[in-house]
Copies of this chain bind each other. A is one copy, B any other.
Amino acid sequence: MDSDTRAWKDAIYGQFGRIGKALSSPRRLEILDLLSQGPKNVETLVLETEMSVANVSQHLQTLLQARLVQFEKQGTYAVYQLSNAKISALLLLIQELGEDILAEVRLLRDEFLLNRDSFEPLTLDELKARMDMDEVYLIDVRPKEEFEYGHIPGAFSIPVKELADHLSSIDTNRPVVAYCRGRYCMYAVEAVEMLREHGIHAIRIDEGVREWNQEPIH
């Protein structure tokens, strides 16, 4: 390979490495995951991740430099969002791959999620079939802002933190199906536990709105 080609290859992979570096931090992966559910300001990210304000801001600067996020100021608030729809797909793929190849990921899924909710979740196809026949009451238990940004059609928004106050508004003639951010989010599990404690027939799906919107890759 002549040295021009070698230098060009080094440069191009150096650029792709910028994306890889941005994804090398568990903190930044969590921030990106949260942003794939909708735009958020620093304060919201601080609350969700339990990181310090300065640390969140540092990581956001790193993501800005890699061009994975962009922001707009709304008063004193800097509202960050993903810069490209492919980033959501990339995160999903990293998570699917992680589940395929890393035993530790499967272990963590098993030890936490399934111990708390011993019932198998509904599959997306089962959900679609039941929704077509109007057989379920679908609730989105993420924060309201995320619901407004995008949600599964036909779902009602009842954030899990407000579920206790909204039990009376739930149609209990049909089974309740809860969903949240996806396979690594606890909100739907917590919601189902709470509903069952109140004698309401409730199940959940593993997927979130990203998976709903994603064309199947197989």
Chain multiplicity (copies): 2
Contact (Cβ within 8 A) B50 A16: no
Contact of A16 among B10, B14, B29, B83 (CB under 8 A): B29
| Interface size of A in residues (CB-CB distance below 8 Å) | 55
Contact (Cβ within 8 A) B112 A19: no
Contact of A93 among B6, B48, B93, B108 (CB under 8 A): B93
Please give the distance in Å from A176's CB to the nearest CB on chain B: 22
Q: Give the complex CA separation of A89 and B13 in angstroms.
A: 16
Those of A1-46 within 8 Å (CB) of chain B: 1, 4-6, 8-21, 23-30, 33
Q: Across the interface, which residues of B come within 8 angstroms of A102, CB to CB?
A: 15, 18-19, 67
Please give the distance in Å from A92's CB to the nearest CB on chain B: 10
Q: Give the complex CA separation of A188 and B139 in angstroms.
A: 52
List 16 additional contacts besides A17-B23, A215-B218; criterion CB under 8 Å.
A1-B50, A5-B186, A8-B112, A10-B26, A12-B105, A16-B29, A18-B98, A19-B23, A19-B102, A20-B20, A20-B24, A20-B94, A23-B24, A84-B101, A93-B93, A215-B215
